Structure 1
Amino acid sequence: MSPAYRIPLGNVSLWLGLLVMLLACVEAYEKISDKTLTELLRPNNDFDIHNGALLSPILRTRVPGTPGSTAVLNHFADFFRTTLPKWTIEVHNSTATTPLSKGKEVPFRNFIATRDPPWASVGDVGRLTLVAHYDSKIEPEGFIGGIDSAAPCAIIMHAMRSIDAALEKKWSALKEQGLYDYLDEERGLQVIFLDGEEAFQDWTATDSLYGARALATHWDDQVYPAMSEFKGPLSSISLFVLLDLLGSKSPTVQSWYETTHWAYQSLGELEKRFKTLKQFKSASANPWFVDTDKDGHKLSPMGGIQDDHLPFLAKGVEILHLIDFASFKGFPPVWHTIDDDGEHLDLDTVEDWSMLVTAFAAEWMELEGYFDHPSAPSPRSDDESAELEALRLDRKTEL
């Protein structure tokens, strides 16, 4: 037995205080309070399909290698550089031939943004990774892809902006108090907007998932320095959360993987709490997360849904696939049709998704107590006076 370590009596209060703060910081998974749920920042007009700052620039054709794709890629870069300047951004480039390129190499560009604790080495940070593809189908001509996947990209952007200040406040407090050395693990955030998910002709193993396949292979070849906590970029992904086909009314999301069913259940619980608090704008009475009460050992088989997660899943990454699909209804009716545009998005549902992803990321990063802003307006303000609503909007503008 090791000899006992004696704490000087005069420092007992200090040590007790540090212990309380330390336990709060290293708790495995901390739920956010109802108060925080009701005060999370809302996108306001950012999802307006005509001039919303987040969504509208993505609602255009964006086939890989075209000017539309470049414009959307620049939109992502401008957003992070101006709104989230402490994030690290990079573009992963690759090329491949397609069935329509006549032997010519088509460029594919994955956008990656990362936010790690300022004191941590890159190989020591496990990241919550939020993913969506930003390319659009080449056919039908003029295809926009509102749910597939302009809205998911905007949802992720809103969520990261909403928690960034709280994240900075938490990390600053840990650094000032010298407590970061006592953390069980270093946690960071990562956003990936993948290019080339859609097939150019017919979906096959080689005509699909161009960006995802290239990035998974590239990261599999990368090795962090010796003595790092993680071997490389793939093993540092604590959870790969893929958002796809989100933005239609009354979504149905199933749980596909036993090892991440707990995270799926956390989202299902957040959905119930938002609805109980009357903080969802959409009117769906049915639960979105239909497998919340299921035993993780008794989930439905994958069912053949192919998406950007597959190259990462094949390399051992933990996957949470958030896609609107159910065996009894299939994909949303607008899927892969010309009607999948901004006008056919249900913007109340899009906003609710953005709040749900924000809350999930806040819980993952254990940000309870670090949000510092006035109460957000309730989404159900029909009975409020115009004067009070204007006052609330003014207060949010000041943020």
Structure 2
Amino acid sequence: MLLLLPLLSLLSILSLGSAYSTLSDDTLNGLPSPGDEFDIKQGKILAPILQERVSGTPGSTAVLQHFVDFFKTNLPKWTLEFHNSSSTTPTSNGKKIPFINLIATRDPPNTGVGEVGRLTLVAHYDSKLTPKGFIGATDSAAPCAMLLHAARTLDAALTKKWESSDGLDELDEVKGVQILLLDGEEAFHSWTDTDSLYGSRALAADWETSFHPAMSTYRNPLDSISLFVLLDLLGASGPRVPSYFKTTHWAYKHMAALEHRLRELGQFKSSPNHPKKLAKRQNKKERDEPQFLHEADKGDNGFLGGFVQDDHVPFMARGVEILHIIPTPFPKVWHEIEDDAEHLDMDTVEDWTRLVTAFAGEWMELEGFFDFKKDKRKEYREKTEL
């Protein structure tokens, strides 16, 4: 064992140093927009999520099936798993409500159980029981759609990267991507430790005791999560997202740097200085540029320990590193009937989608592996075949 310690230390140092690499301006400019697929009425990705989807109801089942169909049709190389649990709720009159989490994973080929550290991208798909007719467009239909689009954008580049290698170097960090679409985040009556986070509490507890084979790199599925990136309440205009945790501020800074670059490149549609908006204004002078991630320069003394209760809590309590992308203050439509499709700011939705996709692309070191011309040809063929 003593002989292994220097090697393990070296592996740790190399992993930290090689865990993230930037995308070029050309790649950032080429990242595809979701376009019509985010149309709130007929878009293939977003529209099917924009319905009531309270846990245990037909709407929830329909949205879950939409996710499964999306992966099976567009991303057949991803592994899909269901995590099932059930619980009574304050409104179920003793009846157990089912909660179903969907876990979609893309790992490098020829890797075994417990060998892969994963960037884990997360959103909840259930909607709140009240008010009646609540859609939850920002909470969290739009974030779910963002993750589906990101997965499809990354997929071909992941394949190209892994097929181009003669095999992973033994000193390289073996990295994959995982998407968690979680059920039962919302409280049925009022938020308490037992009336909330039904799906995430059950999943984190089960993963804690699901041990990988002896001598695996990672002890259990929780240990395999390199970073847990949780998206919530995204899609309203003018979001301001703080950096909540000191230990992942470095990741927040990377995402903030990407946001700055995308704005400079004119790729943020919600920007007051986007080329199309500048062209329409008589006064062409640039306006102050807002920042979604406005705390990149936050110092160590700025972390006072406060955070927002959300699906990350059961994972954080078990030692998982969290990057929580949720605005403070919350959108004005939070938990109101107005949190519907018509109140989404679609420019902001597209900007978040592009930013999260770029962050994942940098995390997975995909520079040089995107083929946007090929993707556009495929997209054209699919449209002409309809």
Q: Select the structure of larger CA radius of gyration.
A: 1
Letter of the structure 2 residue corresponding to residue 273 of structure 1:
R
Q: Distance in 1 between matches of 2:303 and 2:170?
A: 40
Is 1:286 aligned to 2:294, yes or no?
Answer: no
Superposed counterparts of 1:179-328, under 5 Å: 179-283=167-271, 285-295=289-299, 297-325=300-328
Unaligned runs of 5+ in 2: 1-13, 273-288
Superposed counterparts of 1:340-359, under 5 Å: 340-359=339-358
- Indicate conservation of the 8 Å contact 1:256/1:299, yes or no: no
Q: State the SS of the aligned residue for 1:129.
A: strand
CA drift of 1:372 comes to: 1.2
CA drift of 1:300 comes to: 3.5
Q: Distance in 2 between matches of 1:371 and 1:183?
A: 25
CA drift of 1:394 comes to: 7.5
Q: State the SS of the aligned residue for 1:163.
A: helix
User: What is the CA deviation profile of residues 281-319 of structure 1, one whole-angstrom value per residue up to 9, with x for unaligned ones?
Assistant: 112531111110112x22343435110000000000000
In the alignment, what sits opposite 1:17? none
Select the residue among 86, 97, 109 that pairs with 1:95.
86
- Indicate conservation of the 8 Å contact 1:263/1:320, yes or no: yes
- Indicate conservation of the 8 Å contact 1:126/1:186, yes or no: yes
In the alignment, what sits opposite 1:380? none
- Indicate conservation of the 8 Å contact 1:38/1:375, yes or no: no
Q: Distance in 1 between matches of 2:18 and 2:306?
A: 36
Q: Distance in 1 between matches of 2:111 and 2:163?
A: 13
Detail structure 1 runs of 4+ shifted over 3 Å in the superposition.
393-396
Letter of the structure 2 residue corresponding to residue 267 of structure 1:
M
User: What is the CA deviation profile of residues 62-91 of structure 1, one whole-angstrom value per residue up to 9, with x for unaligned ones?
Assistant: 000000000000000001111000000011
In the alignment, what sits opposite 2:286? none
In the alignment, what sits opposite 1:334? 333
CA drift of 1:28 comes to: 3.6
Of residues 302-311 and 114-123 in structure 1, the stretch that sits farther from structure 2 once superposed is 302-311
User: What is the CA deviation profile of residues 135-173 of structure 1, one whole-angstrom value per residue up to 9, with x for unaligned ones?
Assistant: 000000000000000000000110110010011000001
Q: Distance in 2 between matches of 1:200 and 1:228?
A: 40
Letter of the structure 2 residue corresponding to residue 321 of structure 1:
H
In the alignment, what sits opposite 1:36? 27
Is 1:163 aligned to 2:146, yes or no?
Answer: no
In the alignment, what sits opposite 2:129? 138
Label 1:207 to 1:395 Cα distance change in 2 as closer, same or farther (>3 A): closer
Letter of the structure 2 residue corresponding to residue 397 of structure 1:
Y
In the alignment, what sits opposite 2:65? 74
Q: Distance in 2 between matches of 1:58 and 1:250?
A: 23
- Indicate conservation of the 8 Å contact 1:248/1:346, yes or no: yes
Q: Distance in 1 between matches of 2:378 and 2:64?
A: 32
Letter of the structure 2 residue corresponding to residue 309 of structure 1:
H
Q: Distance in 1 between matches of 2:77 and 2:367?
A: 21
Label 1:36 to 1:375 Cα distance change in 2 as closer, same or farther (>3 A): farther
In the alignment, what sits opposite 2:380? 397
Q: Distance in 1 between matches of 2:269 and 2:113?
A: 39
Q: Distance in 1 between matches of 2:171 and 2:24?
A: 22
Letter of the structure 2 residue corresponding to residue 264 of structure 1:
Y
- Indicate conservation of the 8 Å contact 1:94/1:107, yes or no: yes
Label 1:183 to 1:115 Cα distance change in 2 as closer, same or farther (>3 A): farther
**TM-score, normalization by structure 2:** 0.88
Q: Distance in 2 between matches of 1:201 and 1:147?
A: 20
Letter of the structure 2 residue corresponding to residue 105 of structure 1:
K
CA drift of 1:336 comes to: 0.3
Aligned-residue Cα RMSD (Å) equals 1.7
Q: Distance in 1 between matches of 2:257 and 2:333?
A: 28
Q: Distance in 2 between matches of 1:87 and 1:395?
A: 19
- Indicate conservation of the 8 Å contact 2:113/2:213, yes or no: no
Is 1:362 aligned to 2:361, yes or no?
Answer: yes
CA drift of 1:374 comes to: 2.6
Q: Distance in 2 between matches of 1:290 and 1:256?
A: 12
Letter of the structure 2 residue corresponding to residue 334 of structure 1:
V
User: What is the CA deviation profile of residues 152-202 of structure 1, one whole-angstrom value per residue up to 9, with x for unaligned ones?
Assistant: 00001101100100110000011xxx2413452100000001100000001
Q: State the SS of the aligned residue for 1:281.
A: coil
Aligned length: 351
Q: State the SS of the aligned residue for 1:181.
A: coil
CA drift of 1:395 comes to: 8.3
- Indicate conservation of the 8 Å contact 2:269/2:348, yes or no: yes
Q: Percent identity?
A: 59
Q: Distance in 2 between matches of 1:307 and 1:397?
A: 39
Label 1:395 to 1:101 Cα distance change in 2 as closer, same or farther (>3 A): closer
Label 1:304 to 1:320 Cα distance change in 2 as closer, same or farther (>3 A): closer
CA drift of 1:42 comes to: 1.4
- Indicate conservation of the 8 Å contact 2:263/2:271, yes or no: no
